[in-house]
Amino acid sequence: MKNKQLRKIISVVITLSIVFMFSLSAYAMNIDVQSRYVHITGVELVYRAGSPYYATKIIDLTNNSRIPQNAKVTRIELSGNMRSDNNSNFSVIEKGIRSYDNGKSYFTQQIFDNVRNLDSNMNVRQKWDILFAVGNPMRANNITWTADITIYYE
């Protein structure tokens, strides 16, 4: 019986920690909606040494009333600053964005900001998964990308 109660308490503590962590990270994010684009700043993705090949963060634009309901994506730019915790060299393969509507991922080329091969039928108002892939995960240190995301629409 005590073991079961202990598990419940640990589960609640972990859940509250995760919720608190996400609320802090979402608080720093700024979404600026203009007439032809959405500019999102303050999103930090952290790749921890030894973890899988990418870092990811969810951005939810489904209920943003400032974005037109039928706005279709025309172009996406992913830029921003990347830094390593000890200023060592690292190889980042690609920055990317995944659409929750169609489940597809779209990536930039190594040093460019424009996302390639976009589906012209995607809605802006959806959940997006921002990510970056690390080239050599076994030798990489902790890497932080402060993302600057611009989604153009018509």
- DSSP-assigned beta bridge partners for residue 55: 132
Token digits for 153?
Answer: 């629409």
> Are 126 and 89 spatial neighbours (Cβ–Cβ below 8 Å)?
no
Q: How confident is the model at residue 47 (pLDDT cuts 50, 70, 90)?
A: confident
Locate the domains of the chain by residue range: 31-153
The pLDDT of residue 16 is above 60:
no
- Encode pLDDT of 69-86 as tens digits: 999 999 999 988 888 776
Q: How confident is the model at residue 23 (pLDDT cuts 50, 70, 90)?
A: very low
Percentage with pLDDT > 70 across the chain: 76
Q: What is the pLDDT of residue 33?
A: 93
DSSP string, 74-98: EEEEEEEEEEETT-----EEEEEEE
Instruction: Decide the pairing of beta strands 127-134 and 105-107.
Output: unpaired
Mean pLDDT of all residues belonging to the chain: 80
Q: What is the pLDDT of residue 25?
A: 45
CATH number of 31-153: 2.60.120
pTM of the model: 0.74
Other C-beta atoms closer than 10 Å to the C-beta of 98 total 17
Token digits for 38?
Answer: 């959405």
- Encode pLDDT of 108-148 as tens digits: 876 677 888 888 789 999 999 998 877 665 566 788 889 99
